[in-house]
């Protein structure tokens, strides 16, 4: 596999940076194992997840919420297509943190 084979998620990332330069920085995962996927991950900041969710036009109803680590960690996940890439957005944090739509 060549770097060019990852052009779809790389182009999506470049477009995100150009269209939303003020969004919080996130962990980015692009892998040859899933050459059309762009994964964005946020740790300990559900407000950043909400900002990204809104910017990507993902409805709050499509966000899944689960608890990990014996109920100590909350995980929020959502997926969409962006600029041809299969984009996944995830956030992990303390279970005491508010869920999407809470505490606004």
Instruction: Mark the ranges of the chain whose per-residue pLDDT is less than 70.
Output: 69, 71, 96-104
**For the chain, percent of residues with pLDDT exceeding 90:** 74
Token pair for 67: 């608890």
Q: Give the pLDDT of residue 12.
A: 97
| Residue 103 confidence (pLDDT) | 46
From its phi and psi, is residue 71 left (phi > 0), alpha (psi between -120 and 50) or beta?
A: left
Q: What is the largest CA-CA distance in the chain?
A: 46
- Domain boundaries of the chain, sorted by first residue: 3-94
pLDDT digits (tens, 9 = 90+) for 55-79: 999 999 999 987 776 767 889 999 9
Tell which residue, 85, 79, 88, 81, has the closest CA to residue 9.
Answer: 85
- pTM (two decimals): 0.84
């Amino acid at each position: 596999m060549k770097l060019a084979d990852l052009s779809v998620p790389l182009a999506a990332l470049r477009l995100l940076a150009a269209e939303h330069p003020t969004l919080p920085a996130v962990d980015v995962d692009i892998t040859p194992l899933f050459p059309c996927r762009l994964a964005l991950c946020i740790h300990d900041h559900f407000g950043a997840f909400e900002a990204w969710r809104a910017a990507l036009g993902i409805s709050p109803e499509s966000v899944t919420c689960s608890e990990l680590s014996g109920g100590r960690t909350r995980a929020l996940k959502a997926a969409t297509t962006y600029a041809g890439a299969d984009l996944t957005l995830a956030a992990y944090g303390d279970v005491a943190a508010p869920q999407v739509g809470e505490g606004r």
